[in-house]
């Protein structure tokens, strides 16, 4: 372990994306047709083609669809494949609202959503919709009664993430679904499940959730693939009318390699792995605290599985090293440790994280926080490496600059 490292060693940025699992890569290779075997198998064929090779490709998609359906306790007909989480969020939020616009123009969401959900809500607000953005507690969690209080008779949609991408707060989706049903039966409930999939229980169909956005590359699948769960009977308008693929939801030849990789990643998701990830996360926290007692956890209690996702740990280093998060990030990078300041989708923006702001963080604590996230292929050795190298990295960076 102490020998010279050839490159990246502790990849702790799995909430941004994960490496593709070998099972997923194999499933993708089988439908690419790039090697002689898969070329002659004909699984690269267009799944809409009527010859048997096309039918075989369609069957690979059906297998993936079954895997997705199983993860959200749904039936296959309730799964639409998309290009990923952002498209799924947009398809659901805009599609549900446009379908119900005559009933009302009121949407409820929270202040800590991912940009892809925020941007869909912003588009509605720009179109004259009223968007209520509920505050969360210091642990990043929403209370179901706050949702009950916020919905009205003309509320069309409640939209929120099951697991927050920056601090890992788990929302009580089951209770929120019940609260919405009781207070505004006509309102739909959309869940951004991108960080929840394969990390916490996600039986959305059973809970009465209407739509849920899923992404392949956060669970060991490839980038560019995802899905939207749409509960049977839920009405949403597709953005482009008339395509034949994916039940009319999405035009264009299906991304069969991406979909096959997604399905394989989900099938590889071993029951009980969640416990493993959570244990690694707690080991990381305990190990860092032993040498850096001043670090503080942002968000929910990491040891409470009902409040904290197993894979995300957001830490403030403000009392350990008064440096901007970006400088710490690069100092860790020099040790082969990948983590993130905020979410990768917004890390290149200079503004502080709206999620940490939403949790009430201010000043040095706000600007000196980093996210560590684990995934299906995280090894215990990676966590141990981070535990030994992070204090060393901090000791090596002269603290010549104070965050402003």
Partner 1 sequence: MTGGAPAETLLLGHYAEVALKGGNRPLFERALQRSARRQLPAGSRVELRGSRLLVRLPEGVPAETGIAALQRCFGIVSVRPARRIPRPADLGALAGAAVDEARRALAAGAGSFKIAAQRADKRYPLRSPDLNREIGTAVASATGMRVDVHHPDLEIGLDVREDAFYLWGAVLPGPGGLPTGTAGRALALLSGGIDSPVAAYLAAKRGLLLSAAYFHTFPYTGDGTRRKVVDLARTLAAYTGEVRLWVGHFTDIQLAVQEGVPEPLRTVVVRRMMLRFAEALCRRERAGALVTGDSLGQVASQTLEALTAVGEVAALPLLRPLIAADKTEIVDLARRIGTYEISIRPFDDCCTLFAPRHPRTRPTRAEVREAEGRLDVDALIEAAAARSERLRVTPDGEEPYPPPGGGDA
Residues tagged active-site: 345
Which member of 324, 352, 360, 391 binds partner 1 (CB under 8 A)?
324
Question: H helices within 196-241, ranges in order?
Answer: 204-207
Rounded to a whole number of angstroms, the minimum distance from the CB of residue 349 to partner 1 is 6
Residue 400 binding partner 1, by CB under 8 A: yes
Which member of 131, 237, 327, 345 binds partner 1 (CB under 8 A)?
327
In this chain, which stretch among 36-44, 219-227, 346-354, 357-365 interacts with partner 1, using CB under 8 A? 346-354
Rounded to a whole number of angstroms, the minimum distance from the CB of residue 393 to partner 1 is 9
Residue 329 binding partner 1, by CB under 8 A: yes
Residue 384 — φ and ψ, nearest 5°? -65, -40
Rounded to a whole number of angstroms, the minimum distance from the CB of residue 386 to partner 1 is 16
Which C-beta is closer to partner 1: that of 293 or that of 350? 350
Residue 202 — φ and ψ, nearest 5°? -130, 50
Helix (H) or strand (E) holding 26: helix 22-32
Which member of 334, 379, 392, 395 binds partner 1 (CB under 8 A)?
334
Number of residues written out for the chain: 404
Which two three-digit tokens encode residue 232? 């049977």
**Dihedral sign (CA 358, 361, 362, 367):** negative
Rounded to a whole number of angstroms, the minimum distance from the CB of residue 331 to partner 1 is 4
Which C-beta is closer to partner 1: that of 133 or that of 330? 330
Which C-beta is closer to partner 1: that of 334 or that of 379? 334
CA distance 111 to 279: 29
Residue with tokens 């860092």: 288
Which two three-digit tokens encode residue 289? 């605290």
Per DSSP bridges, beta strands 79-82 and 226-230 are: antiparallel
In this chain, which stretch among 59-67, 129-137, 309-317, 321-329 interacts with partner 1, using CB under 8 A? 321-329
Residue 348 binding partner 1, by CB under 8 A: yes
Rounded to a whole number of angstroms, the minimum distance from the CB of residue 131 to partner 1 is 26
Which two three-digit tokens encode residue 308? 């904290």
Residue 401 binding partner 1, by CB under 8 A: yes
Q: Which residues contact 337 (CB under 8 A, 6 or more apart)?
A: 9, 10, 12, 385, 386, 389, 390, 393
Residue 344 binding partner 1, by CB under 8 A: no
Residue 397 binding partner 1, by CB under 8 A: yes
Residue 395 binding partner 1, by CB under 8 A: no
Question: H helices within 36-136, ranges in order?
Answer: 36-41, 52-71, 85-100, 115-126
Could you list the residues that contact partner 1 (CB under 8 A)? 324, 326-331, 333-334, 348-350, 397-398, 400-401
């Amino acid at each position: 372990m102490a020998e010279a490292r050839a490159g990246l060693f502790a990849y702790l940025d799995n909430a941004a994306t994960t490496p593709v699992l070998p099972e997923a890569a194999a499933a993708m290779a089988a439908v690419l047709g790039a090697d002689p075997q898969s070329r002659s198998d004909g699984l690269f064929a267009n799944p809409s083609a009527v010859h048997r090779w096309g039918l075989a490709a369609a069957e690979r998609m059906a297998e993936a669809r079954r895997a997705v359906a199983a993860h959200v306790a749904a039936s296959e007909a309730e799964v639409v494949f998309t290009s990923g989480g952002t498209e799924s969020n947009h398809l659901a939020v805009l599609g549900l609202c446009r379908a119900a616009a005559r009933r009302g123009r009121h949407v409820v969401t929270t202040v800590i959503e991912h940009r892809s959900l925020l941007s869909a809500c912003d588009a509605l607000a720009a179109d004259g919709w009223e968007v209520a953005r509920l505050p969360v507690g210091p642990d990043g969690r929403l209370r179901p009664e706050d949702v009950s209080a916020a919905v009205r008779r003309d509320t069309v949609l409640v939209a929120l993430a099951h697991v927050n991408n920056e601090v890992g707060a788990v929302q009580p989706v089951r209770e929120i679904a019940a609260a919405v049903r009781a207070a505004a039966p006509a309102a739909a409930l959309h869940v951004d499940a991108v960080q929840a999939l394969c990390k916490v229980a996600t039986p959305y169909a059973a809970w009465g959730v209407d739509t849920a956005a899923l992404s392949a590359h956060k669970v060991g699948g490839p980038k560019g693939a995802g899905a939207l769960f749409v509960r049977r009977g839920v009405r949403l308008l597709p953005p482009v009318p008339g395509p034949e693929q994916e039940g009319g939801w999405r035009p264009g030849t299906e991304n069969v390699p991406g979909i096959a990789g997604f399905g394989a990643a989900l099938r590889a998701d071993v029951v009980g792995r969640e416990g493993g990830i959570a244990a690694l996360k707690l080991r990381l926290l305990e190990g860092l605290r032993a040498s850096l007692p001043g670090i503080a956890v942002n968000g929910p209690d990491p040891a409470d599985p009902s409040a904290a996702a197993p894979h995300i740990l957001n830490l403030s280093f403000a009392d350990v090293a008064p440096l901007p998060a970006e400088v710490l990030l690069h100092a860790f990078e020099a040790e082969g440790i990948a983590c993130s300041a905020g979410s990768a989708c917004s890390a290149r923006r200079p503004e502080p994280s709206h999620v940490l702001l939403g949790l009430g963080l201010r000043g040095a604590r706000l600007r000196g926080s980093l996210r560590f996230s684990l995934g299906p292929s995280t090894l215990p050795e990676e966590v141990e490496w981070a535990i030994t190298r992070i204090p060393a990295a901090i000791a090596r960076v002269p603290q010549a600059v104070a965050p402003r």
